């Protein structure tokens, strides 16, 4: 296996991961497996690269004030617990069943987002008491729309349940589960797409750290894979994190939908081919 090849492949995937909030792991794993890397090694290394994507894009978007740190920390409770449980259960789960389950999991995100395709910003909704107590609201300057955007989030408990499922899938499949996280944040919390993508990247780093610790202990983490992947995705994510605020939310959704479509096909293929 060639370290330089892995590094060059990882950079555009890091860029895409940062732009869509997917984390990049879902894209990297099938690419590495196609190159002949054993799947468990690919998953373990992908967990490390997800941390790089999250740190790279998170650094830019947190500073720009797009990420909602409070919402991110609140939701991380659920994703980290889910990831630890999922990674612990991973040794007992059937991989083909998981591929099918995840394809279905992604389809929900796809269909849900398609319904909101024409919506640049989510429509206002009355904030519930818990969301108010948790101070789940925010504001950011949208460069593409050239205006300040203020938003209030709602239904934090339901979103927490969704995030627990996302964390579980992340731990089981060795991915960031960003597609599902983004979907939960946009549909349940009513978070604007840009805030959702960047907050998802912020959370994914913590989820991936929990998952990576399990793969580290399992002996599946190989330096020759993880190091170049981390470098490539970090560079890609830094560029992606700085690009995101120049694009409209609709553009981000288009990129997201194309990527999710590819992932659904890939997961179904994996499930059928075994």
- The sign of the torsion formed by the CA atoms of 112, 113, 117, 120 equals positive
- The sign of the torsion formed by the CA atoms of 59, 63, 65, 71 equals positive
Taking CB under 8 A as the criterion, the residue among 10, 26, 46, 67 binding other proteins is 67
Say if residues 267 and 99 touch (Cβ distance below 8 Å): yes
Taking CB under 8 A as the criterion, the residue among 101, 134, 247, 257 binding other proteins is 134
User: Which of 7/257 has CB closer to other proteins?
Assistant: 7
Tell me if residue 143 falls in helix, strand or coil.
Answer: coil
| Binders in 2-21 for other proteins, by CB under 8 A | 2-5, 7
User: Which of 140/180 has CB closer to other proteins?
Assistant: 140
d(CA 260, CA 35): 21
Place of tokens 């108010």: 132
The distance from CA 206 to its chain's CA centroid, rounded to whole angstroms, is 11
Q: Which of 7, 6, 31, 21 lies closest to 266, judged by CA? A: 31
Taking CB under 8 A as the criterion, the residue among 91, 126, 129, 133 binding other proteins is 133
244 binds other proteins (CB under 8 A): no
Q: Which residues pair with 141 in a beta bridge?
A: 148
> Who contacts 106 (Cβ-Cβ below 8 Å, separation ≥6)?
179, 180, 260, 263, 264, 267
Taking CB under 8 A as the criterion, the residue among 60, 153, 164, 175 binding other proteins is 60
User: Which of 233/266 has CB closer to other proteins?
Assistant: 233
User: Which of 230/264 has CB closer to other proteins?
Assistant: 230
Q: Which of 137, 171, 176 lies closest to 156, judged by CA? A: 137
157 binds other proteins (CB under 8 A): no
Tell me if residue 141 falls in helix, strand or coil.
Answer: strand
41 binds other proteins (CB under 8 A): yes
Taking CB under 8 A as the criterion, the residue among 33, 77, 144, 255 binding other proteins is 77
User: Which of 133/147 has CB closer to other proteins?
Assistant: 133
Taking CB under 8 A as the criterion, the residue among 10, 20, 46, 55 binding other proteins is 55
Taking CB under 8 A as the criterion, the residue among 104, 124, 135, 150 binding other proteins is 135
Place of tokens 């993880």: 226
Q: How far is the CB of 227 from other proteins (least distance, A)?
A: 4
| Binders in 202-231 for other proteins, by CB under 8 A | 205-206, 208-210, 212-214, 216-219, 221-224, 226-228, 230-231
Question: 142: part of which helix (H) or strand (E)?
Answer: strand 137-142
Q: Which of 82, 56, 52 lies closest to 181, judged by CA? A: 82
Taking CB under 8 A as the criterion, the residue among 10, 20, 46, 54 binding other proteins is 54
What is the contact surface with other proteins in residues (CB under 8 A)?
1-5, 7, 38, 41, 48, 51-52, 54-56, 58-60, 62-63, 65, 67, 69-70, 73-74, 76-77, 80-81, 84, 133-135, 205-206, 208-210, 212-214, 216-219, 221-224, 226-228, 230-231, 234-235, 238
């Amino acid at each position: 296996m060639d370290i330089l090849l892995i590094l060059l492949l990882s950079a555009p995937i890091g860029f895409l991961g940062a732009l869509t909030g997917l984390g990049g792991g879902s894209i990297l794993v099938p690419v590495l497996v196609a190159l002949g890397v054993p799947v468990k090694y690919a998953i373990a290394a992908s967990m490390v690269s997800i941390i790089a994507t999250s740190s790279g894009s998170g650094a830019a978007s947190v500073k720009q004030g797009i990420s909602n740190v409070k919402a991110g920390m609140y939701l991380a409770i659920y994703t980290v617990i889910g990831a630890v449980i999922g990674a612990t259960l991973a040794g007992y789960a059937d991989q083909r069943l998981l591929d099918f389950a995840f394809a279905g999991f992604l389809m929900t995100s796809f269909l849900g987002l398609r319904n909101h395709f024409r919506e640049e910003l989510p429509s206002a909704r009355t904030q519930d008491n818990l969301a108010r107590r948790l101070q789940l609201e925010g504001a950011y300057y949208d460069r593409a729309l050239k205006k300040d955007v203020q938003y209030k989030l709602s239904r934090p408990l339901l979103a927490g349940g969704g995030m627990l499922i996302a964390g579980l899938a992340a731990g089981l499949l060795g991915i960031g589960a960003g597609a599902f996280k983004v979907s939960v944040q946009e549909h349940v919390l009513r978070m604007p797409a840009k805030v959702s993508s960047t907050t998802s990247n912020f959370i994914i780093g913590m989820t991936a750290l929990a998952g990576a610790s399990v793969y580290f202990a399992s002996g599946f983490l190989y330096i020759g894979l993880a190091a170049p992947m981390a470098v490539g995705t970090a560079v890609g994510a830094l560029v992606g994190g700085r690009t995101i605020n120049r694009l409209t939310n609709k553009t981000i959704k288009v990129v997201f939908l194309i990527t999710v479509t590819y992932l659904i096909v890939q997961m179904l293929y994996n499930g059928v081919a075994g």
